[in-house]
Chain A
Amino acid sequence: QVQLQESGPGLVKPSETLSLTCSVSGDSNNYYWTWIRQPPGKGLEWIAWISYSGATKYNPYLESRVTIALEMSKNQFSLEVTSVTAADTAVYYCARLPSPVVTRGSWGYFDYWGQGTLATVSS
């Protein structure tokens, strides 16, 4: 059984950097890892993914401010969002993304999600 658990500061001041970590347990071989966010009362926005070999892909609207990194020796991956504003206030979810090796076909959906962590940007 795969489990993902987000952790983060909860409250961040405007212009500062938001740092989040996702801890993974269970099957992690040949999977990619991703972050998705959801502002309160709104829809879902994909942020970035990272492969098991360290390749990355970012949402072009956020790419200049976000960095995703992998620490699989610790069974963790992380997200940093710089220069945050109130618009970055959201529940941040980490999720697993089956790779082409796993799906042997089309890929890009998210099969397991963490419970989410709320990050609020406020002074």
Chain B
Amino acid sequence: EIVLTQSPGTLSLSPGERATLSCRASRSIGSDYLAWYQQKPGQAPRLLIYGASTRATGIPDRFSGSGSGTDFTLTISRLEPEDFAVYYCQQYGSSLMYTFGQGTRVEIK
């Protein structure tokens, strides 16, 4: 099983600031077998990024993903009020099972 560790657990920032979220895998998942999701309270997760760096349909370009191997990053260039939420990474590089990170909460400072 590939374990994903997200950091930090909570990120306290102000609107307009840049957010950098990390996702580290316990072993290599290749160059593009990683996705990022956003979840707001009481809502289902929403796909933001797949293939480590490809934005999903309708996702604003302030969201960007990068990384490969074991280290991946989600960057929100300038936080909008609607971006304060929990973010999860998910790997699909292992054929045995898919796993998610424990989440990073982005909260208003």
Report the minimal beta-carbon distance from B89 to chain A, rounded to whole angstroms. 10
Tell me whether chain A's interface is mostly helix, strand or loop, or mixed: loop
Tell me whether chain B's interface is mostly helix, strand or loop, or mixed: loop
Residue pair B99, A116 in contact (C-beta under 8 Å): no
Cβ 8 A contact of A107, one of B30, B92, B96:
B92
Residue pair B44, A46 in contact (C-beta under 8 Å): no
Residue pair A109, B35 in contact (C-beta under 8 Å): yes
Within 8 A of B (CB), among A85-120: 93, 105-116
Residue pair A113, B46 in contact (C-beta under 8 Å): yes
30 residue pairs A–B, Cβ–Cβ below 8 Å: A43-B101, A43-B103, A44-B90, A44-B100, A45-B100, A46-B90, A46-B98, A60-B96, A60-B97, A93-B45, A106-B30, A106-B33, A106-B51, A107-B92, A108-B92, A109-B35, A109-B50, A109-B51, A109-B90, A110-B35, A110-B47, A110-B90, A111-B47, A111-B50, A111-B57, A112-B47, A113-B44, A114-B44, A115-B44, A116-B44
